[in-house]
Amino acid sequence: MAATKAGSTRPDIATLAGILLAVGGIVGGLLLEKGNIKDIAQYTAALIVGAGTAGAVLVACSMKSVIAALVQLKDIFFERVSDPAPLIEEIIVYATKARKQGIVSLEQEAARISDPFLRKAVNLAVDGTDLDELKSMMELEIDQAEHHAEEGAKVFESGGGYAPTIGIIGAVLGLIQVMKNLANIAEVGHGIAVAFVATVYGVALANIFLLPAATKIRARAAAESRRHELALEGVIGIVEGLNPKLIRSKLEAYLAGAKVVTNAETSRQAAA
């Protein structure tokens, strides 16, 4: 039997296309208005917004949370292959064998399970762990994974809140420099335009990347939790000695739910 490739990943086309579309639309609009890319290419504004936002996030969040968020960057640009159908088929194979030969017969199978969550649950079942205790332990693991993901999401969300304000600070600093040169009226208008670039950077950073990143991390965590709940439900059915057909019927509810969630996310991304 082929192992479920729970850990395999692929580039998230939605994230990459979304960033390119947003940046392209903004720059394209600027060019259509007869602007110039040089008008918004200000490294000083980028430094103020980038460093200022990073500093504010470090003040607001613990270093542990910031590191967790940096690790979760991969979850923004890459998505795990999480089709529940192969996982269901894998569980049904175990359920069929356990029903015929007893749950202890899964001891060797458990060592070859690629999904860490399912492997742990099956090992606990083979070891004769009380069903309530098994369920409690695995649900705690699900909760801890969700909590870890939420920590990272809050870091990006925090940055999304601070970036626009840091951008305003950058604009004010630019205006201070403009006010020093009021004697040269010809340069005042240009100077004011340049000063507001920091505001653009702050708002764009927050709304194109930081806030959407927090949302995507939470979506990834929710999908992973659904997968884990499916695996746990299957193992519980095996321990209870349920008919594999009944286990399949219960698990296919998750399969239908995954399709509904996928369709809803697709529609939401299209609307955005």
180 versus 92: which is more confidently predicted? 92
111 versus 39: which is more confidently predicted? 111
Closest CA to 79 of 11, 19, 20: 11
Give mean pLDDT, residues 59-63.
Answer: 94
55 versus 112: which is more confidently predicted? 55
Judge whether residue 237 has pLDDT over 90: yes
**What is the per-residue pLDDT for 2?**
39
Highest mean pLDDT among 77-86, 182-191, 218-227: 218-227
Judge whether residue 272 has pLDDT over 60: no
Q: Where are the beta strands (DSSP E) in 65-139?
A: 78-80
Closest CA to 118 of 86, 78, 72: 86
What are the boundaries of each domain within the chain?
11-19+42-271
**What is the per-residue pLDDT for 28?**
92
- Average confidence score pLDDT of the chain: 86
Residues in the chain: 272
d(CA 78, CA 214): 14
Judge whether residue 41 has pLDDT over 50: yes
**What is the per-residue pLDDT for 185?**
67
**What is the per-residue pLDDT for 256?**
64
Give mean pLDDT, residues 254-260.
Answer: 59
Give the dihedral of Cα atoms 111, 115, 121, 122; nearest 10 deg: -40
**What is the per-residue pLDDT for 194?**
72
What is the reported pTM? 0.81
Judge whether residue 100 has pLDDT over 80: yes
270 versus 72: which is more confidently predicted? 72
End-to-end CA distance of the chain: 41
Give mean pLDDT, residues 78-85.
Answer: 81
Judge whether residue 40 has pLDDT over 80: yes
Judge whether residue 24 has pLDDT over 60: yes
Give mean pLDDT, residues 226-232.
Answer: 94
Judge whether residue 168 has pLDDT over 60: yes
Burial of residue 9, with CB atoms counted within 10 A of its CB: 0-12 exposed, 13-18 middle, 19 or more buried: middle
Inter-residue contact 269 to 14 (CB < 8 Å): yes
What would the pLDDT profile of 202-211 be if each residue is shown by its tens digit?
Answer: 999 999 999 9
Tell me the residue type at 80: R
**What is the per-residue pLDDT for 196?**
87
